[in-house]
Structure 1
Amino acid sequence: MSSILKIASWNINSVRARIDIVEKFLTEESPDILCLQETKVIDGDFPEGVFRRLGYNHLVLCGQRMHHGVAILSRIPIREDRRHDWQDNGEARHVGVQLDCGIRLENVYVPAGGDIPDRELNPKFGQKLDYIERMTRWSEKCDQPTLLVGDFNVAPLECDVWSHKQLLNVVSHTPIEVESLDRLQQSNEWVDLGRQFHPAPGRLYTWWSYRAQDWAKSDRGRRLDHMWATPDVAKLAIRHDVHEPCRGWVRPSDHVPLVTEFAI
């Protein structure tokens, strides 16, 4: 008899500033594991108490003061804490663990890449492309059942943004970024669980800018957050949801959580 494994991923944009909505989400959705990106806190200041009170007693933290930061919080045992420096500068942008069911879980926060989509004019854009390239080299050698989750900061499909035409030259949807992400996906036949359960060209966004006066009315969203699985893990997936209402909660992140359920 199989059991259900429920895994969530969320760019929280400061876990301390938004701990109330994290607690609300965990109470309502009760995932077994929560992967956070952009925690913006050093490990010693991470608000562990809230998570432990809710039963998340297995914590793997990879923090950084004021910037970046990733974390995996779990109700079930996790082990083999592993970190890759795909940014090649020590930034806290990845943490990975092993689950007892045999699945590797990799939590990643890809750099945003600045505002100008030109490597020469904007070094941050080059760093983003190099980051994805290093992930691709890793992916080519990845031979375990693996779930790769997080904020990839790329909306790959035309239907992953509110206007393909208007965003073609906007960082996160430029052809060079899309091509880089596609090479990563093809390097290990990763299955995009979002589009497996919500096929293109259906609307599917995970991020809305804070700049919009009414994010829901304007609905200028992008699908920047993803859950990819190796084919053996993808076969176990039975449900994938994007929790869009979280964008309307008090003091929200500009991203919303993704949740996938697996029959293990």
Structure 2
Amino acid sequence: MPFTLATWNINSVRLREALVVKLMTEHAPDILCLQECKSPVENIPLDQFRALGYSHMVARGQKGYNGVAILSKLPITDAGDRDYAKLGHARHVAARLENGVVIHNCYVPAGGDIPDRAENVKFGQKLDFLTDMRDAFRADRPERSILVGDLNIAPREDDVWNHKALLKIVSHTPIEVQHLADAQQAGDWVDVTRQDIPQGLLYSWWSYRSPDWDSADKGRRLDHIWATPDISSAAHGSRILRDVRGWDQPSDHAPVFATFDL
């Protein structure tokens, strides 16, 4: 039975509850993975989500920042979490479908503004987080798994509006791109979005700082869907819902979708 999965950095699930409901109503993914929920788990507003058929949730939360949640129409069970780099942040949670597929929802640290760990603790935390992910995948190679989330790195030249201009900007620096590639290779993860859309500029994030994000179009592809090789061929239909970035009081991220025939 196929299912459609979406990942979206919502930038406060309580503030943007109406946008989550709108996405559920208009696009109806079977599974919706949210990052930056900024809420303790018990305060996530579930009533309207459940009314729309999202009766299952696995989540980890914190007051005011971070937080990840997997909302599902399909039955899921809690498959644990990992505190990468021992930051004490709610940045990872996993859920298992009845067919055994495990979904990992990740929110990699943004890394601050200065791409130098000696000057910027947050940048070092980001690199350490990715290194710990790499080591975890090497120690226990994932199978029948999907990893989604705001990974806060645009790895390819066509994942940013201007490759040369962003080489020294956090999210596209060579050291970050290499750390992400090391983690991806350690788990043998397949970038499902680029498997389906191999060529061309592709973005999922546009800064709030841009007065006219749509016409300026200075985007980056920070949000990703990966799958292990044993199920990656079952993925198709990848798309980024750019129009969602233009909804009222939006997140600065757009949802990324993929369908899996599993």
Return the letter of the residue paired with 1:5: F
Task: For 1:143 and 1:62, locate their aligned partners in 2 and report how far apart those are by CA, in whole Å.
Answer: 21
Runs of 4+ in 1 over 6 A off after TM superposition: none
CA distance in structure 2 between the aligned counterparts of 1:169 and 1:227, rounded to whole angstroms: 25
- State the 1:188 CA deviation: 2.3
Residue from 56, 61, 64 that aligns with 2:59 = 61
Q: 2:18 aligns with which of 16, 20, 23?
A: 20
Look up the match of 1:148: 147
- Report the AA paired with residue 232 of structure 1: D
CA contact (8 A) 1:87 1:93 kept: no
Show the counterpart of 2:176. 177
Question: Partner amino acid for 1:242?
Answer: I
Structure 2 residue corresponding to 1:112, chosen from 101, 110, 115: 110
In the other structure, the counterpart of 2:33 is 35
1:226 is matched with which residue? Answer: 224
Which runs of 5 or more residues in structure 2 are unaligned?
none
Cα separation, 1, equivalents of 2:18 and 2:142: 38
Q: 1:121 aligns with which of 119, 122, 125?
A: 119
Q: Is the 8 A contact 2:154 2:222 kept in 1?
A: yes
Note the alpha carbon deviations across 1:131-188, whole angstroms, 9 max, x for none. 0001111112224211000000000011110011111000000000001011111112
The one-letter amino acid paired with 1:188 is G
- The residue aligned with 1:189 is 188
138-147 or 96-105: bigger deviation: 138-147
1:72–1:107 contact (8 Å) kept in structure 2 = yes
Q: Kindly indicate whether the alpha-carbon contact (under 8 Å) linking 1:60 and 1:73 is maintained by their aligned counterparts in 2.
A: yes
Tell me, yes or no, if the aligned pair for 1:33 and 1:74 is still in contact at 8 Å: yes
Q: Give the fraction of aligned pairs with identical amino acids, expressed as a percent.
A: 51
CA distance in 1, matches of 2:164, 2:77: 44
Whichever residue aligns with residue 214 of structure 1, its letter is D
Q: Which amino acid aligns with 1:165?
A: K
Q: Give the drift of 1:55.
A: 0.9
**Residue-by-residue CA offset, 1:28-56 (whole Å, 9 max, x unaligned):** 11111110000001112110111111111
What is the rounded CA distance, in whole Å, between the counterparts of 1:87 and 1:222 in structure 2? 25
Q: Please state whether the residue corresponding to 1:82 is helix, strand or coil.
A: coil
Normalised TM-score (structure 2): 0.98
Name the Cα RMSD after superposition: 0.9
Aligned residues: 261
CA contact (8 A) 1:60 1:71 kept: yes
The TM-score with structure 1 as length reference comes to: 0.97
